Amino acid sequence: MSAVLEVRDLTKTFGGISAVAGVSFDVHPGEILGLIGPNGSGKSTLFNCILGQLAPSAGEVRLDGRAITGMRPCDLNRLGIGRTFQLLQVFPQLSVRENLILAGQEHQGSMWSRLRGRRDAGLTAAANRMIEFFRLGHLADERAGSLSYGQQKLLDAAMAFMAGPRLVLLDEPAGGVNPTMLADLHERLREINRSQGATFVVIEHNMEFVMSLCTRILVLAEGRVIAEGDPERVRNDPAVIEAYLGR
């Protein structure tokens, strides 16, 4: 089975310090890959290099065998990669529904056709389905900025799925979310994975969440991959325990 995403020797240095030091891994179709590691181990930097927010210093990224290194975030998104950020990123002045329509509209036709076409780019129904799916129905017309933190976090995730991506990179989706909502999010992610065959890469500090959600886990420390395998194996790996507990 060929990989959806191939990362080869990806490196990012900031003024002589390597935040990401030659990371290689594959993401297989349909899997949920967890990316864990202590604070400052380079997880978010790795995401940002893969997704074009940062230009990698060296290395290569391939999507379905096609080199995508250094492409712009918006072009990557239109190739079918969705993402969320570590910090909450919704558009506070737009309503929940408008946030979702925005997340899908750039995938509909050309820029010019969007100007001539319908105001909602024909996405109201799809947005409503997404709203129902994430159980935000009662909030559809509220300003996103007026939602609770956990609700905004759900909206943030929902936006990443709006365009029906094949690959989604989630940066700490569980951060700051209360236990009830967390269970909800867990269930939603599983269901999208099952029903749409979407592939996920998830950065997460909440071990319980990540261990139960992911099928495979990659451990990063000081910019390098130090362990890889199923949750059980990673949990008992001495190198991982050392990285977390320190020397």
Nearest to another protein of 90, 185 (CB atom): 90
Query: According to CB under 8 A, which one of 58, 94, 126, 181 is a site residue for another protein?
Result: 94
Q: If DSSP codes are grouped into helix, strand and coil, which group holds residue 44?
A: helix
Q: How many helices (H) and strands (E) does the chain have?
A: 10, 10
Q: Which two tokens stand for residue 173?
A: 């989706």
Are 167 and 4 spatial neighbours (Cβ–Cβ below 8 Å)?
A: yes
Nearest to another protein of 163, 201 (CB atom): 163
* 82: enclosing H helix or E strand: strand 81-83
Sheet with 58-63, strands from edge to edge, namely 17-27, 5-14, 58-63, 66-67
CA 162 to chain centre: 13
54 binds another protein (CB under 8 A): yes
Query: According to CB under 8 A, which one of 10, 27, 68, 103 is a site residue for another protein?
Result: 103
State the binding string over 178-217 for another protein (x if CB under 8 A, else -): ----------------------------------------
126 binds another protein (CB under 8 A): no
| Residue 84 beta carbon to another protein: minimum distance, rounded to whole angstroms | 8
141 binds another protein (CB under 8 A): yes
14 binds another protein (CB under 8 A): yes
Angle in degrees, CA 159, 50, 173, rounded to 5: 40
Query: According to CB under 8 A, which one of 11, 26, 30, 53 is a site residue for another protein?
Result: 53
Residue 150's alpha-carbon distances to 122, 147, 177, 207, in angstroms, are 28, 8, 5, 19
Q: Which residues contact 156 (CB under 8 A, 6 or more apart)?
A: 84, 85, 88, 89, 90, 173
Nearest to another protein of 71, 218 (CB atom): 71
The packing angle between helices 149-161 and 124-133, to 10°, is: 130
98 binds another protein (CB under 8 A): yes
Nearest to another protein of 146, 236 (CB atom): 146
70 binds another protein (CB under 8 A): no
Q: Which stretch binds another protein (CB under 8 A): 35-43, 107-115, 128-136, 192-200?
A: 107-115
40 binds another protein (CB under 8 A): no
| Residue 161 beta carbon to another protein: minimum distance, rounded to whole angstroms | 11
Are 169 and 1 spatial neighbours (Cβ–Cβ below 8 Å)?
A: no
Question: Could you list the residues that contact another protein (CB under 8 A)?
Answer: 14-15, 44, 48, 51, 53-54, 72-74, 77-78, 82-83, 85, 89-95, 98, 101-103, 105-107, 111, 114-115, 117, 119-121, 141-144, 146, 159, 162-163
